[in-house]
A and B are shown apart, each in its own frame.
Chain A
Amino acid sequence: MPPSLDLQNLPDADVVALAQEGREVAYRELIRRYERPVFSLVFRMVRDRATAEDLAQETFIKVLNNIEKYVPEFKFSSWLFKIANNLAIDHLRRRHVQTVSMDGAPDATSASQIEATSFELASHGESALEELEAKELGSAIERAIAALRPEYRSCIMLRHVEGRSYEEIAATLDLPLGTVKTYIHRARHELRKALEDAR
């Protein structure tokens, strides 16, 4: 079956079935469909373009290299978002540990101990990439999203940017439905407060 033109009108499940038959065009079609949503979710989670690109890439590599294990009972996009979210959360946890150690050893109690065990990054001018990031994530709502807890952030992104139902979010993030509703409610509340404060 030749052209990728036909694939564009097929539902995800059919494109995945073709990928499972070893058709490279189907792999590429899946990337084309979801590169932006996955990258956007990860970018808003980690707020660093290069890292987001690496994590989004890792997401697709993991999913596509295990495409034969996909079961159609679960939405393909939910599987993809689940892996992307897990990778982003893992990255944030690792970065949090690194940030703590940059600020000084956890057992440092006095100012001199903190100073002795901390280090500073060399200051550098704002690169073109950073400028782009500042432009992309610089609006009030983006800054308010960045201030949310990562769990709230992924829930609110999936709900309002990706248009997922509460049930889908619960399945994607392996969370109880009630927890998802609570997270989204709290996220909206915090966003409202943050935007009010910004005005």
Chain B
Amino acid sequence: MINRHLLPNEIDLLVDGDVGFGVAPLRAHVRQCPECQAKVDEARVIVDALEELPHFAPSSIFADRVMQQVHVFEPWHVAARNSVQKLVPRSVPARIAAGVMGIAATTVFAIASLWIGLRIDLLTVVSGSAIQRGREIVASALEGLVGAAFGPAALAVVRGMGTIGLLVATVILAVTATGAVMGVRRLATASSRRAGGL
């Protein structure tokens, strides 16, 4: 039992209808104390008046006015789902038929994918051997060229060095050929100038 008048926050607890552990002694005090009972009653009058206040209604076109300025946002996954749902038939037999057709289409697609996969494997093997054969032809042509340009001894050295030797020999050959072509061009230019000067 509380032997003093209630504090304002304690009166609030009672007015708010709190049911906590500490509220029982407050209630007991109020039952014994007319002064505190009067304060609680006064506070309740205000709360009751507030709780009876009505809600006001906005104008009847309020919702339409709001919706005119709201952008209804549909996420892509919902749009996609809705599109799919539109394709699904409504009647049960049509749904079953669509299901069977879907399964058939999936099976055909799977078989076709498998077949293409196997063919790709074959294609890889064929193209691999073609590339190997082409490389052999190029190497043999280059060897022939090196042999013709630098003689059998140089060819034996290049063969001994392997692919790198062949590449080096090809570069030397290309540089030599370019030099020779440029030299011949210069000679031709010089002789034509001389002829023009005469």
The residues of A with any CB-CB pair to B shorter than 8 Å are: 20-24, 27-28, 31-32, 35-37, 39-40, 43, 52-53, 56-57, 60-61, 64-65, 67-68, 136, 141-142, 156, 159-161, 163, 181, 184-185, 188-189, 191-192, 195
In the complex, which residues of chain A have a beta carbon less than 8 angstroms from the beta carbon of B67?
24, 27-28, 31
* Distance (whole angstroms) from the CB of A132 to the closest CB of chain B: 10
In the complex, which residues of chain B have a beta carbon less than 8 angstroms from the beta carbon of A141?
49-50, 53
B78→A21 contact, CB < 8 A: yes
B71→A65 contact, CB < 8 A: yes
**Assembled-state Cα–Cα distance A181/B18 (Å):** 13
**Assembled-state Cα–Cα distance A158/B73 (Å):** 30
Given contacts A20-B73, A43-B56, A188-B47, 9 further A-B contacts (CB under 8 A): A31-B67, A36-B58, A39-B56, A40-B56, A57-B66, A64-B70, A185-B8, A185-B12, A191-B46
* Distance (whole angstroms) from the CB of B40 to the closest CB of chain A: 12
Q: Which of B9, B43, B45, B62 contacts A181 (CB 8 A)?
A: B9
**Assembled-state Cα–Cα distance A57/B59 (Å):** 11
In the complex, which residues of chain B have a beta carbon less than 8 angstroms from the beta carbon of A57?
62, 65-66, 69
* Distance (whole angstroms) from the CB of A170 to the closest CB of chain B: 15
Question: What is the interface residue range for chain B against chain A?
Answer: 20 to 34
Q: List 23 A-B contacts (CB under 8 A).
A: A20-B73, A20-B75, A22-B74, A22-B79, A27-B72, A28-B67, A31-B62, A31-B67, A35-B57, A39-B56, A39-B57, A40-B55, A40-B56, A57-B66, A60-B70, A61-B69, A68-B73, A159-B50, A161-B53, A181-B9, A181-B12, A188-B15, A189-B8
A160→B72 contact, CB < 8 A: no
A28→B56 contact, CB < 8 A: no
Chain A residue nearest to B68 (CB atoms) is: A61
The residues of B with any CB-CB pair to A shorter than 8 Å are: 8-9, 12, 15, 42-43, 45-47, 49-51, 53-59, 62-63, 65-67, 69-75, 78-79
In the complex, which residues of chain B have a beta carbon less than 8 angstroms from the beta carbon of A161?
50-51, 53, 55
**Assembled-state Cα–Cα distance A55/B24 (Å):** 44
Interface of A is mostly: helix
Can you list the 7 inter-chain pairs with the closest CB atoms, starting with the nearest?
A22-B74, A160-B50, A36-B55, A39-B58, A64-B70, A60-B66, A31-B63
A36→B70 contact, CB < 8 A: no
Chain A residue nearest to B65 (CB atoms) is: A57
In the complex, which residues of chain A have a beta carbon less than 8 angstroms from the beta carbon of B75?
20-22, 68
Chain B residue nearest to A165 (CB atoms) is: B16
A184→B49 contact, CB < 8 A: no
**Assembled-state Cα–Cα distance A142/B54 (Å):** 11
* Distance (whole angstroms) from the CB of A104 to the closest CB of chain B: 34
**Assembled-state Cα–Cα distance A58/B189 (Å):** 87
Q: Which of B49, B63, B73 contacts A35 (CB 8 A)?
A: B63
**Assembled-state Cα–Cα distance A188/B49 (Å):** 11
In the complex, which residues of chain B have a beta carbon less than 8 angstroms from the beta carbon of A181?
9, 12
Q: Which of A23, A39, A65, A163 contacts B62 (CB 8 A)?
A: A39
